[in-house]
């Protein structure tokens, strides 16, 4: 599944840039903290472009469906409860934090999205205290154990469009032990401030003031170079005028239309599904899921018919050409 998902990502994204992965500690407990713009695509991207096996915290509401729960458990997702879910989140999360601490004690890794929810806006929102609570409890229980926090910045050129590009940037490790003190509030305040500042360096962080004005001036490629772009954001006059604004309709080439014709059923299914997606942050997740399931299913069914009318060689050739068309559509549109 790891290989299948990673292959699917490279057929779904035009380009995936991976930076500073060598900074990840190899044999220590690591708490990864990342910004959250793109729903389930965020943990999938980090998990498949990482040197460690990840467990990650996901909102409990995603586990309500039995099939979804089985799939999420299979990929090491751990439910975390929020006040907005209408439950006693503090009480329910005690066991979740205990499980996370147990994993860290075994020198495993846990991924958490400290903003507490996803948002398509290109900014680091105020961080919630979940990751600091896990860190504090771990260090209180195991004061002689090292715990590293590694910030991860996810930067997309266009989270809603296809094809998209993404830069996954790992930051410098933060030794949580250096911040530890018995006063929980002081510890939390300092560690949240440190992690927030790091995430703001690893992602394009557009302040709420003048947000729309700045977005209109940025070009897509600038979203992949957060350090340079953030420096330019400080001086609005230095930002060049966007020449690929979303207002201009994307021109598709022949490979996209070949893809459309060859996977017509998948596109029709997407047309049916799209209006039912209540949160736009799940659009890319839905598209990717269709790509992993309905695309190959449609190719398989057609190849069976081709095999029946012709031979196995022709059927296999059809599958190869179909996948190659997906590749060409993604990389050239």
pLDDT at 167 over 50: yes
Whether the CB-CB separation of 14 and 256 falls below 8 Å is answered with: no
Task: Specify the DSSP class assigned to residue 83.
Answer: G
Q: What distance in Å separates the CA atoms of residue 82 and residue 145, rounded to the nearest whole number?
A: 29
CA dihedral 234, 240, 244, 248 (to 10 degrees): 100
pLDDT at 65 over 80: no
Of all residues in the chain, what percent carry a pLDDT higher than 70? Answer: 93
Whether the CB-CB separation of 330 and 11 falls below 8 Å is answered with: yes
Whether the CB-CB separation of 165 and 224 falls below 8 Å is answered with: yes
Instruction: Determine which helix (DSSP H) or strand (DSSP E) holds 93, and give its type and residue range.
Output: helix 89-105
Cβ of 117: how many Cβ atoms within 10 Å?
13
Whether the CB-CB separation of 197 and 75 falls below 8 Å is answered with: no
Strand pairing class (174-175; 147-156): antiparallel
Q: What distance in Å separates the CA atoms of residue 162 and residue 46, rounded to the nearest whole number?
A: 20
Tokens read off for 127: 């961080």
pLDDT confidence of residue 196: 96
The model's pLDDT over 81-125, given as tens digits with 9 standing for 90+, comes to 766 665 566 677 788 889 999 999 999 999 999 998 889 999 999
The model's pLDDT over 197-240, given as tens digits with 9 standing for 90+, comes to 999 999 999 988 889 889 988 899 999 999 999 998 987 756 66
The model's pLDDT over 259-312, given as tens digits with 9 standing for 90+, comes to 999 999 999 999 999 999 998 999 999 999 999 999 999 999 999 999 999 999
> Residues of CATH 3.40.1130.10 domain(s) within the chain?
2-203
Average pLDDT for the chain:
90
Give me the CATH topology for the region 2-203.
Glycerol-3-phosphate (1)-acyltransferase (3.40.1130)
pLDDT at 138 over 90: yes
Spell 127-165 as b/e; 16+ CB within 10 A means b: bbbbbbbbbbbbbeeeeeebbbbbbbbbbbbbbeebbbb
Is residue 157 very low, low, confident or very high in pLDDT (cuts 50, 70, 90)? very high
Is residue 68 very low, low, confident or very high in pLDDT (cuts 50, 70, 90)? confident
The model's pLDDT over 49-58, given as tens digits with 9 standing for 90+, comes to 999 999 988 8
Distance in angstroms between the alpha carbons of the first and the last residue of the chain: 27
- Per the DSSP assignment, residues forming a β-bridge with 111 are 32, 56
Task: Specify the DSSP class assigned to residue 172.
Answer: -
pLDDT confidence of residue 249: 64
Q: What distance in Å separates the CA atoms of residue 289 and residue 294, rounded to the nearest whole number?
A: 8
CA–CA distances in Å: residue 158 to residues 38, 46, 123, 210: 10, 18, 14, 20
pLDDT at 64 over 80: no
């Amino acid at each position: 599944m790891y290989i299948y998902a990673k292959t699917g990502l490279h057929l779904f994204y035009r380009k995936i840039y991976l930076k500073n992965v060598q900074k990840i500690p190899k044999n220590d407990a690591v708490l990864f903290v990342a910004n959250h713009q793109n729903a389930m695509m965020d943990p999938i991207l980090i998990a498949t472009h990482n040197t460690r096996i990840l467990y990650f915290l996901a909102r409990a509401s995603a586990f309500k469906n039995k099939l979804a729960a089985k799939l999420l458990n299979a990929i090491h997702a751990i439910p975390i409860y929020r006040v907005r879910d209408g439950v006693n989140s503090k009480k329910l999360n005690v066991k979740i934090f205990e499980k996370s601490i147990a994993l860290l004690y075994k020198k495993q890794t846990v991924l958490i999205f400290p903003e507490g929810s996803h948002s398509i806006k290109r900014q680091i929102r105020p961080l919630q205290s979940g990751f600091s609570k896990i860190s504090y409890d771990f260090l209180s229980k195991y004061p002689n154990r090292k715990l590293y926090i590694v910030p991860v910045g996810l930067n997309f050129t266009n989270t809603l469009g296809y094809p998209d590009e993404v830069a996954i940037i790992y930051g410098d490790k933060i030794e949580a032990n250096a911040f530890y003190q018995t006063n929980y509030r002081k510890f939390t305040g300092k560690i949240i401030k440190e992690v927030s500042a790091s995430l703001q360096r690893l992602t394009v962080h557009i302040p709420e003031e003048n947000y729309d004005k700045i977005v209109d001036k940025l070009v897509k490629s600038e979203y992949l170079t957060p350090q340079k772009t953030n420096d330019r954001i400080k001086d609005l006059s230095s930002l060049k005028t966007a020449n690929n604004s979303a207002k201009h309709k994307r021109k598709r080439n022949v490979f996209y239309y070949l893809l459309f014709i060859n996977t017509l059923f998948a596109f029709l299914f997407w047309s049916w599904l799209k209006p039912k997606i209540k949160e736009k942050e799940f659009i890319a997740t839905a598209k990717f899921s269709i790509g992993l399931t309905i695309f190959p299913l449609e190719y398989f069914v057609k190849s069976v018919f081709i095999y029946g009318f012709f031979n196995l060689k022709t059927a296999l050739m059809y599958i190869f050409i179909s996948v190659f068309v997906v590749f060409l559509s993604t990389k050239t549109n």
